[in-house]
Amino acid sequence: MATLCRFRHLIGNTPILQIENKIFAKFETYNPSGSVKDRMVGYIVEKAIKNKKISNNTVFLEATSGNTGISLAMIGARLGKKVKIIMPHNMSEERKLMMKLFGAEIIEVGFNDFIGAINLRDELLSKDENYWSPLQFSNPLNIECHRNTTGPEISSAIYQYLRIEKKSNVFGAFVHGSGTGGTMMGVKRYFDSARHSHPKFVLAAPAESASEHGIQGINDGEDFLLDTSQMDQIIKIKTNDAIDRASRLARENGLLVGISAG
């Protein structure tokens, strides 16, 4: 079976870009499939390979709104694995096309029915031992990945900038949306354990309900790994404002990003 050893170096170590005077963004589109999910999927797959949980007959399976499915399809193609993705039928056609280009099979469930997608995934896992899933919504390795990779990268880049610019050694806030909650909780755990100043953790959440907003990949109906009690602040973002900001990032900064980044 192929390994990720000649591929893993492409994941992570993404640049941090200055958007405005005091606003920086981690440019995760530099990951090979174009999103932060490459980190988590690659990390969990590597652990599974080392622990002999993936065999020659393994079929990758996951419930997703899109980006995790794209990452799993990409890595599955690298490893020569069949990949099956379960997702609500109203997710973007662009995401479905990317998964199909990597050779994945897509199983669609009802409108915004993420819980139904997860339940179907779990049912299939229980019926066939050849299925393997990263279990992104409940796997603590999702948090561990970002605690060990994303958090240290952010810290190193921001504090290096502050030193070079001779700014006060203050990192004000980390602002992020939550799909599974893995990135937010992992970065928070890193800074909780760090010795330097601790930023506030601000959750950006859709202003509309999970069934009404149009920001795919965020607020899929449950908090999953996210512990909202550990957030310093929660800010509500209207879908139209997120769309407008993503458009402005393209026009004003030359950055093509998704609505969740907006």
Model confidence over 163-222: pLDDT tens digits? Answer: 888 877 778 999 999 999 999 999 999 999 987 778 999 999 999 987 888 888 888 778
What is the residue-wise DSSP string for 57-110?
T-EEEEE-SSHHHHHHHHHHHHHT-EEEEEEETTS-HHHHHHHHHTT-EEEEES
Which strands form 131-132's sheet, in the order they lie side by side? Answer: 105-109, 82-88, 59-63, 131-132
Pairwise CA distance, residues 112 & 27, whole Å: 27
How many residues make up the chain in this entry?
A: 262
Spatial separation of the C-alpha atoms in residues 91 and 109, rounded to whole Å = 10
pLDDT at residue 1, rounded to an integer: 56
Active centre residues (catalytic) = 37, 260
Mean pLDDT (10-residue bins), the chain, 262 residues: 73 94 93 96 96 96 95 96 96 95 98 93 97 98 98 93 81 94 97 87 93 84 93 96 96 92 92
HSE, side-chain direction, 13 A CA sphere, residue 32: 20
